[in-house]
Amino acid sequence: MSGLNGGVLILEKQRQFWLEAIAKADKDSFKVTLHNLLLEDADKEVPTRIINTVLRTKTPLVLNDATREGRFANDPYILNKQPKSVLGQPMMYRGRMTGVVYLENKFISNAFTSERLTVLKLLSTQMAISLENANTMATLDAKVVERTTQLNDKIEELIQTRQELVQSEKMASLGRLVAGFAHELNTPLGVAVGTASTLHDNAEAINQLLEQEEVDEEELVSTLSTVKEAANLTLSNLKRASGLVNSFKRTAIDQSSEEVRPFEVKAAIDDVITTLHNQFRPTEIEIQVDCPDDLTIISVPGTLEQIMTNLMMNSLIHGFSEGKDAGSIHIAVQLTGNHLHLEYSDTGKGLAPETQEKIFEPFFTTHRAHGGSGLGLYVCYNLVTMQLHGTITCDSTPGQGVRFVIDYPV
């Protein structure tokens, strides 16, 4: 537009109007200066009275000769800048005032003709739409960033919760192991204490025989024979107790540690069976292990023992009705390349299809009324997939038992 030498852009933000930009003619071009100033604080930069009038009336304000015309002739800005033609054009979006475009011409009166006003109104409407779209996109971007941050926080929280659940279940399993071990250890120690008492009594009897003037040889031989039997019984039960202690020690240390080390797979499985012997002893459940005695791998023994413990207890409680039903558990292990392949199966009740779909979900249990936590198989799944970087699948038919297939690199 010939002679146009200045302009101001006012925009609404956070329910207030702000000076965003000032454009000034500079030879054959315009120099635009960006601002971020409240309109009420910009009276030295822009014609705030004219702009506020447009904001209040929501209609265009046209001054054909601003220095002589109307109530703004004595406005400090008009007196200082001496513009001829002035236009204050409101920017509207769906009936809402979103800003004002102020334009001035120093050299020509009546510069803003009706034709030009029509074009400027159209342009201001397009600017309002574009700015609204830009604000919407900026708001959406901010919300996306906020939601992404919230989601990441939730993911971290879930990861922490999962780790706590796994650790809690591991400690609970270790607690069950300790209780079973204490009960299992009580038998050989009780026998050893009883036979030790017999040894003490027989030692007293031998002393009394030796104090007599005449020793009954037959009675002495009988007593010594009893001593020998008691000593053998004591020794065998103490050896059994020692074996239980060593087995428990290995299992307890392994299940509370994530150390990667070489270990014999069958020995680890046998240790689990030994520690759970007290739970399975009163049942008619046969346990069969098909694994080479010399199969040694480098992995985390405690993780494998935790998995086997949970699977066996799951069979005992769910598959065999807490040991009331007879059946069998079969564990087959082999090394395939650099992967350990383990198949665990039982001949218990099996799973319905809807149960099988949720078997690895946290807190899912069909035994809630009897104190089931729903974490046993969830922990198995996490240990296999997250810690061992392997896979675990479940296959079952109601009435025909269950089969778990585990495969992980070693």
Cα distances (angstroms) measured from residue 26 to each of 44, 60, 80? 20, 27, 19
User: 3-state class of 181 per DSSP?
Assistant: helix
What percent of the chain is modeled with pLDDT above 90?
31
Which residue ranges does the chain devote to CATH 3.30.565.10?
A: 257-410
Residue 36 to residue 14: CA distance in whole angstroms: 13
- Say if residue 371's pLDDT is above 50: no
Task: Identify the weakest region by mean pLDDT among 34-43, 119-128, 175-184, 366-375.
Answer: 366-375
pTM for the structure as a whole? 0.48
pLDDT at 48: 92
Which residue ranges does the chain devote to CATH 3.30.450.40?
A: 4-112
Domain 4-112 carries which CATH code? 3.30.450.40
Q: Are the C-beta atoms of residues 255 and 308 closer than 8 Å to each other?
A: no
Mean pLDDT of 170-198: 70
Task: Identify the weakest region by mean pLDDT among 66-75, 172-181, 384-393.
Answer: 172-181
Which of 130-139, 223-232, 301-310 is the most confident on average? 301-310
Cα distances (angstroms) measured from residue 67 to each of 47, 58, 380? 13, 23, 86
Per residue in 135-181, pLDDT tens?
778 778 888 888 888 888 888 888 787 777 766 666 666 666 666 66
pLDDT at 255: 53
257-410 sits in which CATH class? alpha beta
312: Cβ–Cβ under 8 A, 6 or more apart, which residues? 272, 273, 276, 280, 287, 329
Q: Are the C-beta atoms of residues 387 and 336 closer than 8 Å to each other?
A: no
Provide the 10 A C-beta neighbour count for residue 97.
17
* Per-residue buried b or exposed e for 52-88, using 16+ beta carbons within 10 Å of the residue's own CB: bbbbeeeebbbbbebbeeeebeebebbeebebbbbbb
Mean pLDDT of 348-375: 73
- Say if residue 253's pLDDT is above 60: no
Q: What is the 3-state secondary structure (H, E, C) of 50-79?
A: HHHHHHHHCCCEEECCCCCCHHHCCCHHHH
Structure tokens at 335: 């090394």
Per residue in 7-61, pLDDT tens?
999 999 888 999 988 888 877 777 888 888 899 888 888 999 999 999 999 999 9
Cα distances (angstroms) measured from residue 264 to each of 147, 212, 277, 294, 334? 49, 59, 20, 7, 12
pLDDT at 246: 67
Per residue in 99-117, pLDDT tens?
999 999 988 888 888 888 8
- Say if residue 2's pLDDT is above 60: no
Per residue in 318-352, pLDDT tens?
899 989 999 999 999 999 999 999 999 999 999 88
Q: Which of the two residues, 371 and 321, has the higher pLDDT score?
A: 321
pLDDT at 166: 66
pLDDT at 178: 65
67-73's contacts with Cβ under 8 Å and 24+ in sequence apart are 72/47
| Average pLDDT of the chain to the nearest whole number | 84
Mean pLDDT of 241-261: 65
User: 3-state class of 30 per DSSP?
Assistant: strand
